[in-house]
Amino acid sequence: MHVTETAAAAGGVRVFVDKQSPEAYHALTATAEAVRGVSAAAGLDRVLVELVNIRVSQINACAYCLNLHTRAALRAGETTQRLGVLPAWRDTQLFTPRERAALALAEATTCPADRPAQDAAYAEARSVLTDEEISAVIWVAITMNAFNRVSIMSKHPVRGVSAPPSV
């Protein structure tokens, strides 16, 4: 069993499922690689993909993935202002129509039981995204949701950094 003192202290001993079942985790990372290729082929830039990853991780409250993908977004050129208001993206004009459609679709993928929101998100996506982009955004959200579950259920720790990420 693979556990850490942090996991034990934070509500009981947790199995790091990625370490316990590496073959399943490797399949998930292979899926993520395929999704990266699909996203690139559809023309989704790295910033948009990271916005989707972060928004899904915010909804799921996955600290580990939020830490990882916020840093990746900053490296890709995203601004701290837009990252700061991402939970309220609907209430600002800082996001393009394409980004807004992708964020709505990512939220609908993450919370599929909200059928009216899902239908509205899909209609919005249809108005500004191609079929390839829609498929890629949904796959990014599906994959991020899976990684969120792995990290949440394993209680992967967020480690401090010695210096803030450069922007």
Q: How do residues 52-77 score in pLDDT, each as one tens digit?
A: 999 999 999 999 999 999 999 999 99
In this structure, which CATH number among 1.10.600.10, 3.30.420.40, 1.10.150.120, 1.20.1290.10 belongs to the domain 5-154? Answer: 1.20.1290.10
> Where is pLDDT greater, at 2 or 119?
119
Q: Three-state DSSP class for 18?
A: helix
Give yes or no for residue 4 having a pLDDT over 70.
no
Angle at Cα 64 formed by Cα 45 and Cα 165, nearest 5°? 60
**Average pLDDT along the chain:** 92
Confidence of residue 142 (pLDDT cuts 50, 70, 90): very high
Confidence of residue 164 (pLDDT cuts 50, 70, 90): low
Based on the number of CB atoms within 10 Å of its own CB, is 117 exposed (0-12), middle (13-18) or buried (19 or more)?
middle
The domain spans of the chain are 5-154
